[in-house]
Amino acid sequence: MSNTNSICILGAGSWGTAIAVLLAKKGYQVKLWSAVPDEIKMLRENREHKFRLPGVILPSNIEIVDDLEKACKDNLLIVFAVASPFIRQTAKNACPYIKEGTILVNVSKGIEDKTFLTLSQIIEEEIPQAKSCVLSGPSHAEEVSRSIPTVVVAGAKDKEDAVLIQDVFMADNFRVYTSPDVMGIELGGAIKNVIALAAGVIDGLGFGDNTKAALITRGILEISRLGEAMGTRAQTFYGLSGIGDLIVTCTSNHSRNHNAGYFIGQGHSVDEALKMVGQVVEGVNCAKAAKNLADKYNVNMPIVEQINKVLFEGVSPTDGLNALFTRAKNTEYMFTDWD
């Protein structure tokens, strides 16, 4: 029988640690797992993630765990907070220790570069006996860990699972809505990172608010076009995991995607920019997948196309922006009817 007061979090980076703090403050017994020995040592000795969340002290009811079997057994639910490139291997390794019907909550964002699967789809593929769900929205770890008011959405195929996640995570400063559109939530959360790279490039080039507002507006249209072509719900992209997450990621200094784009806009190479950020930049990992999905579903995504050219084809940021502004003139929406 599952321990109704124990929650496992796989991944002890900034987001996993912030969620651990959130849930520990609600009184849950939290098992925070990491595959990185130095990270385990630091968290155990200092009770603080000195590199990612300095000043945020871990409550005593957070146990730092390096044994995956111990972490995964006997929990109310399991949270996947590892970076997207490591989701599949982590899920594969965890599978033998996860029992039938366990609720798995993915809080990471990305699309697998070879399969073009969302992260929940990967988890479902690797752990078919469990229930793969998602929690997403405009939620920087730096702010959640300090109880700054935040609103997100929980997505699940079954309503009762979404409501359970809502009940577990809901706090005075952390509001949770529910939705059945798991894929839509994940597409919004993943592809907004690609648009955020472009927003950072705009800032790095020294352009202004007008330019960024245009990018955000047209960016959410591109994401929603792809989502609709893939069978998701259009309104999802005008909610928390769509426009909400896009706004925060395109405008915040906490955003590693925006920061990487900023360095590229200033003239640094992609490799230099990634080293300067010093963390996984999900938008770079996701850009090719987003372009391939656009091609597969015959969806026009010019911002995604140009950021791919800047990242991988040697096109300068200025030329990429010019290509967007000099495209053939058009109406704003396809449904325009002058009659």
Q: What DSSP designation does 157 have?
A: S
Catalytic residue among 192, 212, 288, 291: 192
Report how far apart, in Å, the C-alpha atoms of 110 and of each of 62, 152, 272 are: 27, 17, 22
Q: Does residue 109 carry a catalytic annotation?
A: no
Q: Which two tokens stand for residue 258?
A: 């925006």
Give the residue from 267, 252, 271 showing the smallest Cα distance to 318. 267
Report how far apart, in Å, the C-alpha atoms of 184 and of each of 90, 246, 269, 272 are.
23, 14, 32, 32
The residues, ordered by sequence, that sit 6+ positions from 21 with a Cβ below 8 Å of its Cβ are 56, 58, 59, 62, 144, 145
Which tokens hold the place of 91? 């899920």
**Are the C-beta atoms of residues 290 and 191 closer than 8 Å to each other?**
yes
Cα–Cα distance for residue pair 129/126, rounded to 1 Å: 9
Rounded to whole angstroms, how far apart are CA atoms 322 and 105?
A: 41
H/E stretch holding 184: helix 182-205
Lookup: tokens for 12: 């002890």
Nearest-angstrom CA–CA distance, 63 and 85 = 25
Q: Which residues have C-beta within 8 Å of that of residue 201, sequence separation ≥ 6?
A: 261, 262, 264, 265, 307, 310, 317, 320, 321
Residues with active-site annotation = 192
